[in-house]
Structure 1
Amino acid sequence: MAENPKLTILGAGSWGTALAALTARNGVSTTLWGRDRAALAAMAASRRNQRYLPDIELPAELAYEAELATAVRGAGIVLIVVPSHAFAAMLDEIAPLLDAGTAIAWATKGFEPGTGRFLHELVAERLPGRAAAVVTGPSFAREVAAGLPSAVTVHSDDAAFAQQLAGLLHAPNLRAYSGGDVLGAELGGAMKNVLAVATGIADGMQLGLNARAGLITRGMNEMLRLGVALGARPETLIGLSGLGDLVLTCTGDLSRNRRLGLALGQGVAIDEAVRRIGQVVESILTADEVARLADKHGLDLPISAGVRAVLHGEVTPVDGLKALMAREQKPEYPHGLFGTD
């Protein structure tokens, strides 16, 4: 691979824009593509993403391209930053357009809706034989775009590609690490969204900091047990892509999933809560897929299951809390750290 490849980022929302700004400032030849031609033209003219990051001035070096074929042509790396429900369709669109040597990366968090498949499985199926990597970690788009200190991690089965992409992202105010556990990195980035709804609900109900800490800790336990059942490495899940992202999303009010929980805990109906947020809330789909994976592996994940029930209107937040608190007393780890409890 070229030492300084052309990078094309697909998705001009908050995170795609933040990553494009970061790499352009790093001296990487970066092109940003988005479906909304008018919004993309306005970004190019004003050097601001008025909808998602209105206070951030974008670097003059960043290029914009509304034609998908033109955007990906000649790219050494294509980085996909679209919602998980649009991920498979995006892969299908670009498959006939990519150059033979183009590598694929994604900063999307979630599963394929309806199947529970991981996004790396879709990449392997639709774009076989290409270097592929996931970019994840505790990173609110607004803070990365503003140049505040942050950290991410890049995981790939191709160690050289993981290190190359991490090098393109690494900056004075952003540390980029690399690893080889794609499944674990994806699981942490997806599952933390569900758990953030739980802590948001608790905070919306004003249950206190003790409740928040308990939910984060027991939620981490659920993530570890599901991860080990799936073959993830525990060290991945207690790193940036798991614990780091979990703490950020459960405690930071920039999190859409936490804000959804806050609204639900305050008695707001789910449709109205989503409308107020105004962006895709990944936990609504992800909760179903976590439940599917838990059932497949015979795991009891009470916090994740409770969030799913609340999101589907099967129980109220109050009743969901009562169900959690009514569970029998037991040792914290009756079967060891990764046993079923």
Structure 2
Amino acid sequence: MKPVSVSVIGGGSWGTTVGHLAAHNAQTLLWARSEATVSDINDYNANLRYLEGYNLHPGLRATSDLEEAVRCADVLVMGVPSQAFRETLGQVGQFLRPWVPVVSLTKGLELSTRKRMSQVIHEVLPGHPAAVLTGPNLAKEILVGDAAATVIATPDPVVAETLQAVFATERFRVYANPDVIGCELGGALKNVIAIASGMADGLGTGDNTRAAVITRGLAELTALGVAMGGQQVTFAGLAGMGDLIATCISPQSRNRHVGEQLGKGRSIEEIVDEMNMVAEGVKTSNVVMELAREYEVDVPITAQVQAVCHEGRSAADAYSGLLGGRTGVEHLGYE
């Protein structure tokens, strides 16, 4: 059998890291807009813009030519922000061979349609199997060789098995899950809760508050995720609770960083302007509120995050509402 050829679209920290993982098992080519990033990967096995000080697999190569990156792909990996996903996918489609699986790394929802990335894949590239790679995966920890686990979500067990072999390494375990809806929603919704957790940290609260925000945040995202068709058990696994914990507590988390800075009194505009990576939870909070109203799910933590990010409310004023809502018998995922 000829070696599998993997193409990764996107030269950010996570796209680069997934390219690094795939290069252990397959011929891997990464596409980036930046010629500097391409040169750094090809000449120094590094991404100096996003991952300075971390070595990449020497087999990972890069290009700024989209056709070159895509035309020979057996597996296409999409590592671009949610709001650029559809446009980039359309450009990729000009060069992609039929039936090639498309794997999304993006943990967000499309603002204009409120759709998940796998839905966008099916719309833009019908006939291509769509899968999602998601879980508690912090790029820098993976690059230094710390043990980690993730989920490949696809309804097709044959595609799942193939992709598991592409991305798994000795210290990166890849589980399969057929619940694409639950896995994608867990990845998108947890970003909003991570902002809330960061806000609490920025305000100087303790571990009790953080634990309460994370736990009730899990209940909140589970309730909405189940209402939208996800399986409740998914939200207790790597794509739900696992990803939520990592994103809420890690200093590497972009969304937690945004929340922490909000808690310290800075404006959302100032915080976003100085970041060179996208914190998906900022924009996702608006979409989550729309979905919560449509599905009649109470999301008090998300409501406070959305108010701070988009309505000018201060984190200090929102603090009392982070655990808002009526009290009663605790049921995970439901009030």
Q: 1:22 to 1:329 in 2, by over 3 A?
A: closer
- Note if contact 1:115-1:289 (Cα within 8 Å) is conserved in structure 2: no
- Give the gaps of 5 or more residues in structure 2: none
Aligned mate of 2:242, from 223, 241, 244: 244
Give how far 1:39 is off: 2.4
Q: Which residue identity lines up with residue 65 of structure 2 in the other structure?
A: E
Q: Distance in 1 between matches of 2:209 and 2:103?
A: 37
Q: CA separation in 1, counterparts of 2:162 and 2:323? A: 47
User: Deviation digits for residues 102-148 of structure 1, max 9, x if unmatched?
Assistant: 22111111001122111111111111111211000000111112221
User: Could you tell me which residue of structure 2 aligns to residue 146 of structure 1?
Assistant: 144
Describe the SS at the equivalent of 2:320.
helix
Match of residue 281 from structure 2: 283
Partner residue, 2:107: 109
C-alpha displacement at 1:313, in angstroms? 3.3
1:70-109 equivalences in 2 (<5 Å)? 70-109=68-107
* TM-score, structure 2 normalization: 0.96
Query: Do 2:20 and 2:57's aligned partners in 1 also have CA atoms closer than 8 Å?
Result: yes
Pair 1:107–1:326, CA change in 2 (3 A): closer
CA distance in 2, matches of 1:324, 1:239: 24
Match among 64, 67, 87 for residue 66 of structure 1: 64
Q: 1:161 to 1:327 in 2, by over 3 A?
A: closer
SS of the residue 2:153 aligns to: strand
- Which residues in structure 2 correspond to 1:164-179 (within 5 Å)? 164-179=162-177
CA deviation after TM superposition for structure 1 residue 184, in Å: 0.5
Q: 2:125 aligns with which of 112, 124, 127?
A: 127
SS at match of 2:97: coil
Q: Is the 8 A contact 2:301 2:321 kept in 1?
A: no
Cα RMSD of the aligned pairs, angstroms, is 1.5
Report the residue type matching 1:8 in the other structure.
Answer: S
Amino acid at match of 1:225: A
Residue 13 of structure 2: aligned partner: 14
In 2 relative to 1, CA 99–327 (structure 1 residues): closer, same or farther, beyond 3 Å?
closer
Q: Distance in 1 between matches of 2:323 and 2:54?
A: 44
1:157 aligned partner: 155
Asked if structure 1 preserves the Cα contact closer than 8 Å seen for 2:179 and 2:230, the reply is yes
User: Tell me, what secondary structure is at the counterpart of 1:31?
Assistant: strand
- Secondary structure in structure 1 of the residue aligned to 2:150: strand
Alpha-carbon separation, structure 2, partners of 1:215 and 1:270 = 21
Q: Specify the alignment match of 2:315 in structure 1.
A: 317
CA-to-partner distance for each residue in 1:290-324, whole Å, 9 max, x for gaps? 11110110111000111011101342112212234
Q: What are the equivalent positions in structure 2 for 1:290-309 lying under 5 Å apart? A: 290-309=288-307
Question: What SS does structure 2 have at the residue aligned with 1:323?
Answer: coil
In structure 2, the residue matched to 1:181 is 179
For 1:24-63, list aligned pairs within 5 A: 24=23, 26-63=24-61
Shift of 1:36: 1.2
Using the size of structure 1 for normalisation, the TM-score is: 0.94
CA offset digits 1:176-227 (Å, max 9, x no partner): 1111011111000001100000010001111111010000010000111101
- For the residue of structure 2 that corresponds to 1:71, the secondary structure is helix
What one-letter code is carried by the residue in structure 2 that aligns with 1:188? G
Q: Structure 1 unaligned runs (5+)?
A: none
Q: 1:7 to 1:270 in 2, by over 3 A?
A: same
Structure 1 partner of 2:232:
234
Q: Distance in 2 between matches of 1:324 and 1:175?
A: 34
Find the counterpart in structure 1 of residue 213 from structure 2.
215
| Partners of 1:175 and 1:42 in 2: CA distance | 28
Q: State the secondary structure of the residue aligned to 2:216.
A: helix
Q: Deviations over 1:269-307 (max 9, x none)?
A: 112222343311111111011111101101110001110
Distance 2:50 2:238 in 1: 24
* SS of aligned partner of 2:223: helix
Q: Which deviates more, 225-234 or 58-67?
A: 58-67
**What SS is found at the alignment partner of 2:175?**
strand
State the secondary structure of the residue aligned to 1:114: coil
C-alpha change, 1:246 and 1:46, in structure 2 (3 Å) is: same
Return the alpha-carbon distance in structure 2 between the equivalents of residues 17 and 9 of structure 1: 8
Counting aligned pairs with the same residue, the percent is 37
d(CA) in 2 for partners of 1:102, 1:326:
46
